[in-house]
């Protein structure tokens, strides 16, 4: 029933004080289980068993079986429901017995029958009748931790479980997989392997390097890092190629270099530089706000909506790339969440950018709903600061959320962070990994938007974009360092208030323009 037992020093004193229970992890898929009972307690027992061993063979025997148990049993082929009164013959073929009936005499009878057959028994809420307990379980992938208070306080065990769930990051399973790969590459007997692993960990601690930098025949960079670099390089080539061959004839290259200031408004460039810096500081720290702040600023200055989105996304290609790289460097990425977001986000972004281009002929009319939308985003950000925290639920349909966020981000020039990040943070307990994963996915989303706009609009205002790019790149590493360390509630209020005020100003200008 156990693969191995790790020896340790005595944990219970000689007089028997302490917790004398011996922790054992059972392979329930090889041990048939009999569950007697069909009510709420039986449902909790069944859910606990299946939650840890989905392939377990469990036979449920009860006079009445609740709808909850029936619905749960439909999801697991190993569960068999038998609606009848308990009989001693029901123990045949079982190796583990769990009793969850509200009848002490029946519970004692079942235990007596089970012990005559040398079966292990657990009786709900009756420690004296139990051979083993079902403790609180913490699981992160392949890592599983069982918590026992020896029946003293299930509430304390539950609280410890919550604390461990909070402390242990989802990436712990990746660590275990990496350690397995290292273990498989070690040669020699057990003693040699221990020495090699000890030498390896000494190198990591002494030099403070990552596993990729140790000579284990691994690539020095993650695949996504290479993809980000290639995408950035390709996009730079597109911009430079368009600029050189469309606007700057080769014969007049020298003269054009001297006339560069004539093509760039210095005051506008500096304003864009400041906007890019502030927007990326907010975005990298909160996981939202770059597109929203940049868009509301440009709309307030009379820039057409489609052009607004193209400028913002062109700049965000670089800032989000640096931001995503920085978050990965500081270990802020949840790979599973990233993979869930990136593809739907790209599809939504391409769709939104295409519709924004088609609707540019109605720019005067589009400006009004966009101003209302960005005003709502400001309210949405403030709402995050004042809303009370609720019980953390598992994220569902994150792909659809990313698709909607990518569409609105490309069509309206912002909203990816405000919609995606804030929603995910409300469902998860670790803002650090949510913000890092969303920032990395954001790079691919804005890259898809920028390429779509470039193909459709056939030009990019280099001066404004350059200001946004430089400001964002300067702020990205600083923001990644500050994530989780700033007073979030105050920042939510300030950012949301700025967005609302700017959006109302844009709305007022747009309404006046329509009236005239």
| Strands (E) located in 32-162 | 33-36, 58-62, 79-83, 96-99, 120-123, 136-140, 143-147
Distance CA 20, CA 442 (A): 52
pLDDT for 32: 93
pLDDT at 207 over 60: no
Nearest to 418 by CA among 389, 381, 444: 381
Distance CA 331, CA 239 (A): 32
pLDDT at 6 over 60: no
What's the whole-number mean pLDDT along residues 200-206? 55
Distance CA 96, CA 108 (A): 16
The larger pLDDT score, comparing residue 26 to residue 141, is at: 26
Distance CA 56, CA 105 (A): 28
* Bridge partners of residue 125, in order along the sequence: none
Percent of all residues in the chain with a pLDDT value above 70, rounded to a whole number: 66
Sign of the Cα torsion 69, 75, 81, 83 reads positive
Pull the structure tokens for residue 100: 């969850």
pLDDT for 1: 33
Pull the structure tokens for residue 327: 């978050």
Percent of all residues in the chain with a pLDDT value above 90, rounded to a whole number: 16
pLDDT for 484: 57
The larger pLDDT score, comparing residue 132 to residue 227, is at: 132
Pull the structure tokens for residue 216: 């284990």
Least confident of 30-44, 109-123, 421-435: 421-435
The larger pLDDT score, comparing residue 477 to residue 117, is at: 117
Distance CA 515, CA 495 (A): 31
DSSP 257: H
DSSP 80: E
Q: Are 507 and 375 in contact (CB under 8 A)?
A: yes
pLDDT for 92: 92
Nearest to 287 by CA among 168, 381, 353, 200: 381
Q: How many residues does the chain have?
A: 516
Buried b (16+ CB within 10 A) or exposed e, 69-95: beebbeebebbebeeeebeeebbeebb
- Where do the H-state alpha helices sit in 359-397? 363-386
pLDDT for 461: 63
> Which band of pLDDT confidence, cut at 50, 70 and 90, is reported for residue 7?
very low
pLDDT for 117: 92
Listing from the earlier edge strand, what are the strands of the sheet with 79-83? 79-83, 58-62, 33-36, 96-99, 120-123
Q: Are 210 and 203 in contact (CB under 8 A)?
A: no
Nearest to 142 by CA among 124, 118, 168: 168
The larger pLDDT score, comparing residue 426 to residue 398, is at: 398
CA separation, residue 59 to residues 38, 82, 84, 132, 251 (Å): 11, 7, 12, 19, 85
Q: How far is CA 407 from the centre of its chain?
A: 20
Pull the structure tokens for residue 220: 């020095």
Buried b (16+ CB within 10 A) or exposed e, 456-495: ebeebbbbbbbbbbbbbbbbbbebbeebeeeebeebbbeb
- List, for residues 485-499, the tens digit of each pLDDT value: 666 677 777 777 777
pLDDT for 424: 78
- List, for residues 62-107, the tens digit of each pLDDT value: 999 999 999 999 999 899 999 999 999 999 999 999 999 999 999 9
C-alpha distance across the termini of the chain, in Å: 82
- List, for residues 436-465, the tens digit of each pLDDT value: 888 888 888 888 888 888 888 776 666 767
What's the whole-number mean pLDDT along residues 32-42? 93
pTM of the model: 0.47
* Mean pLDDT, the chain, integer: 75
Which residues are CB-contacts of 56 (< 8 A; sequence separation ≥ 6)? Answer: 28, 29, 31, 33, 49, 50, 78
Nearest to 88 by CA among 60, 116, 68: 116
DSSP 187: -
- List, for residues 48-62, the tens digit of each pLDDT value: 899 888 899 999 999
Q: How far is CA 441 from the centre of its chain?
A: 11
- Half-sphere exposure at residue 240, Cβ-oriented, CA atoms within 13 angstroms: 6
Pull the structure tokens for residue 404: 């909607």
Pull the structure tokens for residue 514: 């329509």
> Tokens 């309210």 sit at which residue?
379
* Bridge partners of residue 61, in order along the sequence: 36, 82
User: What DSSP assignment string belongs to 277-318?
Assistant: HHHHHHHHHHS--HHHHHHHHHHHTT--HHHHHHHHHHHHHH
Distance CA 399, CA 340 (A): 6
pLDDT at 210 over 60: no
- Number of Cβ within 10 Å of residue 248's Cβ equals 16
> Tokens 């989000």 sit at which residue?
320
- List, for residues 259-307, the tens digit of each pLDDT value: 555 556 666 677 777 777 877 777 666 656 666 777 776 666 666 666 6
The larger pLDDT score, comparing residue 14 to residue 306, is at: 306
* Bridge partners of residue 136, in order along the sequence: 147
């Amino acid at each position: 029933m156990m693969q191995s037992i790790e020896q340790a020093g005595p944990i219970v004193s000689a007089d028997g004080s302490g917790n004398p229970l011996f922790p054992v992890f059972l392979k329930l898929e090889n041990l048939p289980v009999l569950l007697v009972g069909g009510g709420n307690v039986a449902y909790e027992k069944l859910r606990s068993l299946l939650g840890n061993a989905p392939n377990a063979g469990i036979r449920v025997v009860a006079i009445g079986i609740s709808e909850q148990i029936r619905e749960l049993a439909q999801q697991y082929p190993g569960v068999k429901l038998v609606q009848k009164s308990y009989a001693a013959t029901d123990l045949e073929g079982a190796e583990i017995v769990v009793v969850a009936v509200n009848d002490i005499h029946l519970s004692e009878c079942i235990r007596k029958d089970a012990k005559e057959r040398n079966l292990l028994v657990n009786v709900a809420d009756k420690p004296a009748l139990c051979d083993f307990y079902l403790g609180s379980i913490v699981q992160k992938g392949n890592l599983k931790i069982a918590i026992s208070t020896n029946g003293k306080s299930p509430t304390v065990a539950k609280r410890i479980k919550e604390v461990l769930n909070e402390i242990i990051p989802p990436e712990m399973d990746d660590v275990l997989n990496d350690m397995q790969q290292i273990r498989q590459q070690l040669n020699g007997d057990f003693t040699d392997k221990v020495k090699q692993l000890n030498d390896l960990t000494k190198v990591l601690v002494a030099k403070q390097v990552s596993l990729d930098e140790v000579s284990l025949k691994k690539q020095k960079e993650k695949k996504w890092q290479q993809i980000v670099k290639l995408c950035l390089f390709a996009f730079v080539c597109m911009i430079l190629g368009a600029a050189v061959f469309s606007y700057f004839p080769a014969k007049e290259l020298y003269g054009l270099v001297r006339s560069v200031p004539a093509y760039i408004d210095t005051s506008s460039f500096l304003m864009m530089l400041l906007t890019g810096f502030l927007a990326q500081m907010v975005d990298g720290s909160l996981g939202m706000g770059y597109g929203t702040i940049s868009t509301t600023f440009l709309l307030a200055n009379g820039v057409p909506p489609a052009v607004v989105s193209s400028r913002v996304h062109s700049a965000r290609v670089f800032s989000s790339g640096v931001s995503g790289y920085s978050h990965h460097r500081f270990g802020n990425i949840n790979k599973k969440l990233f993979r869930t977001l990136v593809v739907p986000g790209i599809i939504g972004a391409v769709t939104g950018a295409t519709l924004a281009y088609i609707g540019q002929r109605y720019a005067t009319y589009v400006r009004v709903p966009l101003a209302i939308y960005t005003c709502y985003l400001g309210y949405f950000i403030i709402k995050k600061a004042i809303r009370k925290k609720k019980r953390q639920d598992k994220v569902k349909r994150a792909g659809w959320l990313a698709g909607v966020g990518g569409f609105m981000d490309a069509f309206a020039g912002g909203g990816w962070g405000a919609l995606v990040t804030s929603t995910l943070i409300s469902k998860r307990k670790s803002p650090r990994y949510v913000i890092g994963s969303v920032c990395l996915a954001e790079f691919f989303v804005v890259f898809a938007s920028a390429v779509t706009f470039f193909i459709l609009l056939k030009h990019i205002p280099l001066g404004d974009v350059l200001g946004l790019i430089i400001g964002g790149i300067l702020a990205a590493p600083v923001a990644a360092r500050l994530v989780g360390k700033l007073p979030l509630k105050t920042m939510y209020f300030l950012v949301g208030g700025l967005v609302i005020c700017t959006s109302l100003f844009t709305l007022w200008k747009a309404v006046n323009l329509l009236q005239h």
